[in-house]
């Protein structure tokens, strides 16, 4: 009795038909086997089958030696079925989404620019208008500035340049990295340390009438420490004799000529730009034009960027297109100064006069503080 291929009894089959049915069954078996291999193997298995070199999907704990011997894989992208997955490029001509500027690059995705040590610094002076200069110059597309004060060259120098660089924003090749720490100007070690970082560093110093600056400094301190002595009491060692206490920091900062000597030991005068704190209020566009010239960038910040805020008493940036509000300095800026005895002010003007004259002569500018 003849049997079918399936094992059940049946009528006799011609030999040719049996061969065709056997070949068809064998073909189905091979197809199933290949499909099973393709579906069950992972990426690493596939690479071994194809003879490709080993690679790593990502760093693992204790894998430093392995990382040194294995090449990194191409970062896996989301599959089309995943939410938010980008669609496949048409003919490889579609542009990838523009990367975001970021302070870190842990994800492996491309970032725009590189973290660099600053090429320019706003080094002083406190209560002179440094924050205004920083906020104004940040409008320029060729400048990227750190918003906070890192205090690297006075307080954090021991952390090293790598730590300092890590704080900086990412910049393109054409952009300037900038940071502001006003206390650098009165820090004895700062000029040498900055010179050791780069002798080509450009320095910006915002100066202001030293008497007005001292009163502003005191007003800020008083808002934080209401129990401090009076301005007059801190300013003089002997009020009757007119002996000013130059050891008080609020007074000492305004002795600009004295501090400038330390900087000129390391940097030529052409590498230091002085901004007038008074003109920054009355003519912000003019002062910022000179800052842009000093930095070697195009004059893009002009009078169309400013308006005068009568409440605060200084200029603000006009509303950017991406913001609902104009950009003004914080609440701590523009506070009303404490009232000082006019006779005290006259005594301080006389104290500062020789320092001011020497400063004018050194920098080649008359700031008209007398």
In 113-190, the DSSP E strands lie at 114-115, 120-124, 143-145, 170-171, 176-180
Q: How many CB atoms lie within 10 A of CB 38?
A: 9
335 is in an annotated binding site: yes
109 is in an annotated binding site: no
| 8 Å CB contact between 208 and 337 | no
333 is in an annotated binding site: yes
In the chain, the DSSP E strands lie at 55-56, 71-72, 114-115, 120-124, 143-145, 170-171, 176-180, 202-207, 236-238, 243-244, 272-276, 306-309, 314-317
Please choose, from the candidates 128, 155, 130, 129, the residue with its C-alpha nearest in 3D space to the C-alpha of residue 145.
Answer: 130
127 is in an annotated binding site: yes
The yes-or-no answer on residue 202 being catalytic is no
| 8 Å CB contact between 121 and 194 | yes
277 is in an annotated binding site: no
Place of tokens 């669609």: 87
336 is in an annotated binding site: yes
129 is in an annotated binding site: yes
Q: Which residues contact 57 (CB under 8 A, 6 or more apart)?
A: 43, 73, 76
| 8 Å CB contact between 258 and 355 | yes
Task: State the SS3 of 233-295.
Answer: HHHEEECCCCEECCCCHHHHCCCHHHHHHHHHCCCCHHHEEEEEHHHHHHCHHHHHHHHHHHH
Q: Which residues contact 30 (CB under 8 A, 6 or more apart)?
A: none
180 is in an annotated binding site: no
Pairing mode, strands 55-56 and 314-317:
unpaired
337 is in an annotated binding site: yes
Question: Active site residue: 127, 180, 202, 319, which one?
Answer: 127
Catalytic residue positions? 127
Binding site for 3'-phosphoadenylyl sulfate, by residue number, is 127-131, 208, 216, 333-337
Where is the binding site, in residues?
A: 127-131, 208, 216, 333-337
């Amino acid at each position: 009795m003849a049997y079918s291929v399936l094992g059940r009894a049946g009528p006799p089959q011609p030999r040719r038909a049996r061969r065709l049915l056997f070949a068809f069954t064998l073909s189905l078996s091979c197809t199933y086997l290949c499909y099973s291999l393709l579906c069950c193997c992972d990426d690493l298995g596939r690479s071994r089958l194809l003879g490709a070199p080993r690679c790593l999907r990502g760093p693992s704990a204790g894998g430093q030696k392995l990382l040194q011997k294995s090449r990194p894989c191409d970062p896996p992208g989301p599959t089309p079925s995943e939410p938010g997955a980008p669609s496949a490029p048409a003919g490889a001509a579609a542009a990838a989404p523009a990367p975001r500027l970021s302070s870190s690059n842990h994800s492996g995705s491309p970032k725009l620019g590189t973290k660099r040590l600053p090429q320019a610094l706003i080094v002083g002076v406190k209560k002179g208008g440094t924050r205004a200069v920083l906020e104004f110059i940040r409008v320029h597309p060729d400048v990227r500035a750190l918003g906070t004060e890192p205090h690297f060259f006075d307080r954090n120098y021991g952390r090293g340049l790598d730590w300092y660089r890590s704080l900086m924003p990412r910049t393109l090749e054409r952009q300037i990295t900038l940071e502001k720490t006003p206390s650098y100007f009165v820090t004895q070690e700062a000029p040498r340390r900055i010179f050791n970082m780069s002798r080509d560093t450009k320095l910006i110093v915002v100066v202001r009438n030293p008497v007005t600056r001292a009163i502003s400094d005191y007003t800020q301190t008083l808002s934080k420490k209401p129990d401090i002595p009076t301005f007059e009491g801190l300013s003089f060692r002997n009020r009757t004799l007119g002996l000013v206490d130059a050891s008080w920091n609020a007074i000492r900062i305004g002795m600009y000529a004295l501090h400038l000597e330390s900087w000129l030991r390391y940097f030529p005068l052409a590498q230091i730009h002085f901004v007038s704190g008074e003109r920054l209020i009355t003519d912000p566009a003019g002062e910022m034009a000179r800052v842009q010239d000093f930095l070697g960038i195009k004059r893009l910040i002009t009078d169309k960027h400013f308006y005068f805020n009568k409440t605060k008493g200084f200029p603000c940036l006009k509303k950017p297109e991406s913001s609902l509000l104009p950009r003004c300095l914080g609440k701590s800026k523009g506070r009303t100064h404490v009232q000082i005895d006019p006779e005290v002010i006259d005594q301080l003007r006389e104290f500062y006069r020789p320092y001011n004259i020497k400063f004018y002569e050194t920098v080649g500018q008359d700031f008209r503080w007398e």
